[in-house]
């Protein structure tokens, strides 16, 4: 829907956008985030050509915007900014109908649009349509700002910190509303913020910028799980630590430092290893590294006499689960099986780790309290 190809922009020698290339798919809500001055607003304004680029091309719907008529382009892209910018001399209805009027829609059609738009945010037409902006609260004003941007049904809407000046409660309500409208009307939205919470709750895709470049472009989940830089981590603050370790798969709750030996390991060496590491079970692998079974120190003591390797003593039926399975699978096996641990395997059947009651408790604690960093 929106594609940047090697877009650069500089102001008096300083590079503000540095070879940006990315693509936003139709119907997506993409959030631009990053430290102040990193070029978010500049990026946004190049899309409706409020700022012209120096190099590179921007495509909207497959067409290079440099070749489009500015008025047409802008009429087909909604624009919402932090300062709201409602026209103070126009009523709510006139404000909403600015672009329809530019497009020379008929009076009846404009009025119908106003009805529909106010309906979307549950503001009764009779009560609000003829009010002036200074008769509305800040939240109501920005609601009208959003409706004004949507009035001529543009497929794309640009929003530059639209809720930055609103109180936290209003902000939450409007975030919810915009998300709902975006999904209902199937809009492609580019949304600038420097509030990570806002980004993570609203975005389909988060684009993190720094010094005019994209540091990471990923879904909120992915960014929480694998932040690409320390700066992103610090932007996410406590929240990232929490959510990053939110135990979901078996891998999240396992301990990955485990002692494995091949199944032809000597009995005596195995006992010695276990006592040195202070453990009572060893995980055994085949020669190719795949999981074979486990052997416990008790078993060796009871019937280990006369064997050279641990293979004949090996327990092949010990509970295991795969690392990408739901954490609860391992949890159930651990609790219901009455065992001390569950072996965790990768899909290629190599050993990834083990889940013990301790490792599980620790990962839960991290999720709740953070890992103390």
Partner 1 sequence: MSWSMVMEHLFMVLLAVLFTIALGVPLGVCAYCFKPLRRVVLWSVEILQTIPAMALLGIIMVFLGAGKATVVIGLLLYALMPVVQNTCLGLTEVDPGVREVARGMGMMRFYRLLHVEMPIAIPYIFTGIRIAVVISVGVAVFATFVGGGGIGRAIYQAIRVHDVPTIISSTFTLMLMAIGLDTVMALAEKRLYSRFSPAEK
Chain residues binding partner 1 by CB under 8 A are 45, 48, 50, 70-75, 79, 81-89, 98-99, 102, 132-134, 136, 138, 141, 145, 148-149, 158, 165
| Sheet architecture: strand order including 260-262 | 260-262, 281-285, 291-296
Quick one: which segment of 30-38, 126-134, 275-283, 302-310 binds ligand ATP (CB under 6 A)? 30-38
Q: Whole-number minimum distance, CB 38 to ligand ATP, in Å?
A: 4
Q: How far is the CB of 148 from partner 1 (least distance, A)?
A: 8
Instruction: Work out how close the CB of 150 gets to partner 1 at its nearest, in angstroms, rounded to a whole number.
Output: 12
Pick the closer one to ligand ATP by CB: 42 or 114: 42
Stretch that binds Mg ion, among 34-42, 272-280, 320-328, 339-347 (CB under 5 A): 34-42
CB of 193: closest distance to Mg ion in angstroms?
Answer: 10
Partner that binds at residue 356, options partner 1, ligand ATP, Mg ion, none, CB closer than 5 to 8 Å by kind: none
Please choose, from the candidates 182, 218, 188, 214, the residue with its C-alpha nearest in 3D space to the C-alpha of residue 59.
188
7, 29, 33, 40: which one binds ligand ATP (CB under 6 A): 40
In the complex, the smallest distance separating the C-beta of residue 370 from partner 1, rounded to whole angstroms, is 37
What is the closest distance, in whole angstroms, from the C-beta atom of residue 193 to ligand ATP in the complex? 9
Q: Is 82 in the site for Mg ion (CB under 5 A)?
A: no
With CB under 5 to 8 Å by kind, the binding choice for 11 among ligand ATP, Mg ion, partner 1, none is: ligand ATP
Rule CB under 6 A: is residue 194 a binding residue for ligand ATP?
A: yes
Question: How many Cα atoms sit within 13 Å of 189 on the Cβ side?
Answer: 30
Our measurement of the distance from residue 211's CA atom to the centroid of its chain's CA atoms, rounded to an integer in Å, reads: 21
Say how many residues make up the chain. 373
CB of 45 to ligand ATP, least distance (A): 8
Establish if 36 lies at the interface with ligand ATP (CB under 6 A): yes
Please say which residue, 42 or 48, places its beta carbon nearer to ligand ATP.
42
Q: Least distance (Å) from ligand ATP to the CB of residue 341?
A: 49
Contacts of 353 (CB under 8 A, 6+ apart): 251, 254, 255, 256, 257, 258, 323, 344
Rounded Cα distance, 223 and 148, in Å: 32
Residue 39 sits in the site that holds ligand ATP (CB under 6 A): yes
Q: What angle do CA 142, 160, 50 make, to 5 degrees?
A: 115
Q: Is 333 in the site for ligand ATP (CB under 6 A)?
A: no
Rounded Cα gap, residues 355 and 319, in angstroms: 11
Residue 41 binds ligand ATP (CB under 6 A):
yes
Q: Which stretch binds ligand ATP (CB under 6 A): 40-48, 146-154, 221-229, 256-264?
A: 40-48
Residue 10 or 91: the one with the smaller Cβ distance to Mg ion is 10
Q: Would you count residue 171 as binding ligand ATP (CB under 6 A)? A: no
Q: Which of 28, 41, 175, 216 binds Mg ion (CB under 5 A)?
A: 41
Q: Judged by CB, which is closer to partner 1: 156, or 352?
A: 156
Q: According to CB under 6 A, which one of 26, 37, 124, 337 is a site residue for ligand ATP?
A: 37
* Contacts with Mg ion, residue ranges (CB under 5 A): 41
* Contacts with ligand ATP, residue ranges (CB under 6 A): 11, 16, 36-42, 194
């Amino acid at each position: 829907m929106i594609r940047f190809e090697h877009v650069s922009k500089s102001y008096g020698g300083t590079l503000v956008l540095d070879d940006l290339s990315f693509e936003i798919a139709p119907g997506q809500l993409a959030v631009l985030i990053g430290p102040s001055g990193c070029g978010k607003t500049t990026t946004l304004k190049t899309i409706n050509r409020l700022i012209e680029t120096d190099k590179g091309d921007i495509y909207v719907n497959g067409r290079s915007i440099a070749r489009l008529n500015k008025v047409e382009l802008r009429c087909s892209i909604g624009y919402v900014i932090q300062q709201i910018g409602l026209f103070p001399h126009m009523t709510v209805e006139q404000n909403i109908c600015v672009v329809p009027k530019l497009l020379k829609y008929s009076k009846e059609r404009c009025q119908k649009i106003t009805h529909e738009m106010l309906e979307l945010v549950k503001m009764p037409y009779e009560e609000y349509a003829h009010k002036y902006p200074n008769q509305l609260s800040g939240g109501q004003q920005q609601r009208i700002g959003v409706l004004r941007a949507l009035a001529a049904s543009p497929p794309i809407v640009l929003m530059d910190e639209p809720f930055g000046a609103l109180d936290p409660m209003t902000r939450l309500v409007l975030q919810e509303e915009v998300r709902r409208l975006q999904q209902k009307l199937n809009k492609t939205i580019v949304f600038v913020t420097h509030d990570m919470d806002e980004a993570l709750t609203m975005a389909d895709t988060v684009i993190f910028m720094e010094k005019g470049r994209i540091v990471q472009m990923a879904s909120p989940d992915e960014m929480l799980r694998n932040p690409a830089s320390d700066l992103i981590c610090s932007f996410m603050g406590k929240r990232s630590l929490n959510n990053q370790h939110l135990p979901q798969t078996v891998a999240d709750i396992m301990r990955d430092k485990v002692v494995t030996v091949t199944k032809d390991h000597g009995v005596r060496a195995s006992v010695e290893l276990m006592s040195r590491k202070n453990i009572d079970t060893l995980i055994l692998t085949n020669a190719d590294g795949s999981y074979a079974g486990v052997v416990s120190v008790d078993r060796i003591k009871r019937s280990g006499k006369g064997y050279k390797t641990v293979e004949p003593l090996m327990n092949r039926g010990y509970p295991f689960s795969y690392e990408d399975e739901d954490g609860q699978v391992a949890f159930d096996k651990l609790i219901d099986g009455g065992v001390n641990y569950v072996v965790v395997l990768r899909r290629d059947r190599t050993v990834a780790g083990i889940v013990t009651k301790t490792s599980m408790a620790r990962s839960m604690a991290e999720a709740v309290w953070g890992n103390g960093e």
